[in-house]
Amino acid sequence: MAKVRVNCFSISLDGYGAGPDQSTQDPLGKLGEDLHPWLVSTRTFKSMYGSSDQGTTGLDDEFARRGTENLGAWILGRNMFGPVRGEWPDETWRGWWGKSPPYHVPVFVLTHHARPSLEMEGGTIFHFVTGGIEEALRRAREAAGERDIRIGGGVETIRQYLKARLIDEMHLAVAPVILGKGEHLLHGLDLNELGYQLVDRSNTEQATHLSFRRT
């Protein structure tokens, strides 16, 4: 059965999944890039972005690779698509990733402001969904068929799907850094009450990998 998954989502030791003050200079917020060295050094990540550097292998790369398998659709919050807020002033902004984003499947972007679908190179099509998380999930299921759906973030998007108990599996990578402020992933959420159990914990030099499953 197709699953709704969170994979490779990095948080700090104090629980923040993004830094404050997102901008074109700081797409992940201030200090947000400090959460991701474990991922960006892997062979899987580098191959996704066309780097000639082979990258690292090992457990970090294994988690990165698992996150790319059997995906038929993604769901992103608007902040993951770009820094533009409010009404779209025009259609100039086409995402952080250039002409060929790394998704290669339909991507459903949660927003309060409608915009025509955006077809990119490599099979990525961004659809802008104004009807909320359940509409986005319904459309993603239709697009994905028997394959899985990945909730890519950001923090508030994952929180909404956790609260609704719509995520089946979640992999968090805890980076050995403290952000102090930003967007906190689990504040006010009781994962036990929501039905999530820790099923695996693994450590590498750059991250502690925590895997959860909804019972």
- C-beta of residue 149 within 8 angstroms of C-beta of residue 73: yes
pLDDT of residue 133: 98
Query: Could you tell me the two tokens for 139?
Result: 């459309």
pLDDT of residue 78: 95
Q: What's the whole-model pTM score?
A: 0.95
CA distance linking residue 194 with residue 121, whole number of Å: 39
* Crossing angle (nearest 10°) for helices 155-163 and 133-144: 90
- Say how many C-beta atoms besides its own lie within 10 A of residue 127's C-beta: 19
In tens digits, the chain (215 residues) has pLDDT values of: 799 999 999 999 999 999 999 888 898 999 999 999 999 999 999 988 777 678 999 999 999 999 999 999 999 999 999 988 899 999 999 999 999 999 999 999 999 999 999 999 999 999 999 999 999 999 999 999 999 999 999 999 999 999 999 999 999 999 999 999 999 999 999 999 999 999 999 999 999 999 999 99
Going by DSSP bridges, is the β-strand pair 148-153/71-77 parallel, antiparallel, or unpaired? Answer: parallel
CA distance linking residue 117 with residue 105, whole number of Å: 13
pLDDT of residue 163: 98
What is the CATH class of 4-18+67-83+99-214? alpha beta
pLDDT of residue 52: 64
Please report, as a single letter, which amino acid is at residue 106. P
Phi, psi of 128 (to 5 degrees): -100, 115
Domain ranges of the chain: 4-18+67-83+99-214
